[in-house]
A and B are shown apart, each in its own frame.
Chain A
Amino acid sequence: MAEKAILYDATKCTACRGCQVACKQWNENDEVIPTEENGVASKNWGSYENPPDLSPTTWLKMRFTEIEAGGKVRWLFTRQACMHCTDAGCVRVCPNGSLYHHELGFVAYNKDTCTGCGYCIDACPFDVPRSTRNIITGIAKMDKCTFCTTPGLDRIAEGWEPACVKTCPTGALKYGDRDDLVAEGKKRVQTLQTAGWTNANLYGENELGGLHVLYVLDDSPAIYGLPVSPQISAATIAWKDAIQPVGWAVGGLTIVGLGMNWLVARANAKKEAK
């Protein structure tokens, strides 16, 4: 089946945050309104960005960035949510396959089988997964954007587009076959470049084997707070691709070696006894 993706065009986004709300509503991720009556001391931290960070119940949020360029202030908006990597750090380190690739290419997970180890949180190049966690007992459950495939709330299986895309009023979000969206994104970048945005680029086409959320940006990803060349961390590779296979080999060889010693030593002891 053709891989699916979301195309986010930052130049069309007005940061209305309809996607944020639709995501919460569809996925039943209620959150208290941060007021003092609700026990949350809300404070003005100098930005319209709200809530300030992703959380186990906030899988998608818009990041607001202010930059000064050519004596003018620009106010930039970026989507912050799981990128649904082809080479996904989280899938690599998940100890029991709770995180996996959906047949349409993006990264889904089974919350029921999640062990709460939190390895995915540290392995994600985009700092996306979040978990509830009791720091003493270690009991935890991880959450992130499921590409609207949460069991019981699976829009994709119904042939619908994700909730965020459905709600976007400006057409900044689009859902479709990944190949089509890559082509469309490139066209959009070209249009921007001819209009004078020389740094315009399509983010996500090749990063980490290809992301399933593509970004049309009018400037460098760094300015938008995105890693310019996201990588699987050296620790992930050293741990999962080197030391764990070595561990299985060492364990196996030790047992075989001891078994051989036992056979030889016992035969000798018997000979000696006679």
Chain B
Amino acid sequence: MTHHEVEKYRKPIRVLHWIHSGAFVLLFLTGLILFIPGLGFLAEDSWTRVIHRVGAAIFVIIPIIYLVINPRSVARGLKLAFTWNSDDIGWLKAAPRYYFLGDESGMPPQGEMNTGQKMWWFIVVVFGVLFVITGVIMWFAKASAPPALLQWMVFIHDISFIVSGAMLFVHIYLGVFHPLMTDAWSAITGGKVSAEYARKHHGKWYAEISKGKEEA
């Protein structure tokens, strides 16, 4: 096997990823300050709440810009993420042995997005939308909406925070720290993974792209 590389994420996607995730982390941290009583003193005089609003504006506007510039890429990503087949069930069964023990035997070959990545997409899309709806109501309707509605909005915002926040830890851990995910970091920073990594982690996808090359 030569040491040639294949492109996993094109530049616009990587830029989108980093701006959007930067906003998400900013929102996560400034939200956490209201969530954990021991950190609440940091929110005195509203300034972390102002940052939360700046983060929210970036969080909403950047994906919209991307959608306008590149609707096909978004449609393609959504299609990949929301198309499930028997190999995804196989992934779910094999995942514990694989991610703990490095046992690849039960792991079906994966496409461009593996099942874990599909689930993360699902969480990002569903809770992203919930964050925006509940957040915008708490932001702009604070003086006009009924108190009970505003309180339930915080409640749903918190559920979104708990689920997507916990999964954010998993996401960062897998991308940066997990011993087997050797090329995930270079994929989302420089765009490329080694052919070896692509073959092992995204077998179906690697077969597709290398076939394309042969034909070309």
Could you list which residues of chain A lie within 8 angstroms of chain B, going by C-beta atoms?
A: 95-97, 112-119, 121-123, 127, 133, 135-141, 233, 235-236, 238-239, 243-244, 246-248, 250-251, 254-255, 258, 261-262, 264-266, 268-269, 272
Q: Which residues of B contact A266 (CB under 8 A)?
A: 179
Give chain B interface residues in 32-65, CB to chain A under 8 Å: 33-37, 40-41, 43-46, 48-50, 52-53
Across-interface contacts of A235 in B (CB, < 8 A): 148, 151-152, 154-155
| CB atoms of A238 and B143 under 8 A apart | no
Determine if A250 and B162 form an interchain contact, defined as CB atoms under 8 angstroms apart: yes
Contact in complex: A116, B49 (CB < 8 Å): yes
The residues of B with any CB-CB pair to A shorter than 8 Å are 33-37, 40-41, 43-46, 48-50, 52-53, 99-102, 139-140, 142-143, 147-148, 150-152, 154-155, 158-159, 161-162, 165-166, 169-170, 173, 177-180
With both chains docked as a complex, state the minimum distance between the C-beta of B56 and any C-beta of chain A, in angstroms.
10
Please tell me which one of the listed residues B102, B142, B178 contacts residue A133 in the complex, with CB atoms under 8 A apart.
B142
- CB-based contact A115/B166 at 8 Å: no
User: By the criterion CB–CB under 8 Å, are B155 and A115 in contact?
Assistant: no
A261 to B162, CA, bound (A): 21
A251 and B46 contact, CB distance less than 8 A: no
Do B162 and A139 touch across chains, with their CB atoms under 8 A apart? no
- In the bound complex, do residue B152 and residue A118 qualify as a contact, i.e. CB atoms below 8 Å apart? no
Which of these, A97, A119, A261, contacts B154 with CB under 8 Å?
Answer: A119
Which residue of chain B lies nearest to A114 when distances are taken between CB atoms in the complex?
B44
Chain A residues near B139 (CB-CB < 8 A): 135, 138
Q: Is the CB of B148 within 8 A of A233?
A: yes
**Which residues on B sit within 8 Å (CB–CB) of A250?**
162, 166
* Distance, CA A238 to CA B36, complexed state (A): 16
Q: How long is the Cα–Cα vector from A241 to B20 in the complex, in angstroms? A: 32
**Cross-chain contact A269 with B180 (CB below 8 angstroms):** yes
Does B173 contact A135, Cβ atoms closer than 8 Å?
A: no
> In the complex, which of the residues A122, A251, A269 contacts B166, with contact meaning CB atoms closer than 8 Å?
A251
What residues on A are CB-neighbors of B165 within 8 Å?
251
